[in-house]
Amino acid sequence: NAGVTQTPKFQVLKTGQSMTLQCAQDMNHEYMSWYRQDPGMGLRLIHYSVGAGITDQGEVPNGYNVSRSTTEDFPLRLLSAAPSQTSVYFCASSYVSGEAFFGQGTRLTVV
């Protein structure tokens, strides 16, 4: 039981490049979410999903796309990376009620 697994752990992108951050959970959780954390700040919600095939926007969705084709996976796509997207990205999963479980994060730098 690995919990929530994020890959890669570190990534450097050039401005304009695209990439996908991967998130997988093995707890059969219905809910999954993506957050970003900028230095000295709390986490902010990017996108979330309440089940396979269902996604919605959070507080800061611009520049990111998501899809949820399976219960286990919830990838986050950066369409055209910008320096403002330099951040630490966390994926989380949970049941409908109860606590959320977080991955260890992906540290992204856009130059």
Partner 1 sequence: DAKTTQPPSMDCAEGRAANLPCNHSTISGNEYVYWYRQIHSQGPQYIIHGLKNNETNEMASLIITEDRKSSTLILPHATLRDTAVYYCIVRGNTGTASKLTFGTGTRLQVTL
1 is a site residue for partner 1 (CB under 8 A): no
Nearer to partner 1, 43 or 78 (CB): 43
Nearer to partner 1, 17 or 30 (CB): 30
Near partner 1 by CB under 8 A: residue from 92, 108, 109, 111? 92
Near partner 1 by CB under 8 A: residue from 20, 79, 95, 109? 95
DSSP code per residue over the chain: ---EEEE-SEEEE-TT--EEEEEEESS--SEEEEEEE-TTS-EEEEEEEEETTEEEE-SS-TTEEE--SSSSB--EEESS--GGG-EEEEEEEE-SSS--EE---EEEEE-
Q: Which of residues 49-68 bind partner 1 (CB under 8 A)?
A: 49-50, 58
Nearer to partner 1, 17 or 67 (CB): 67
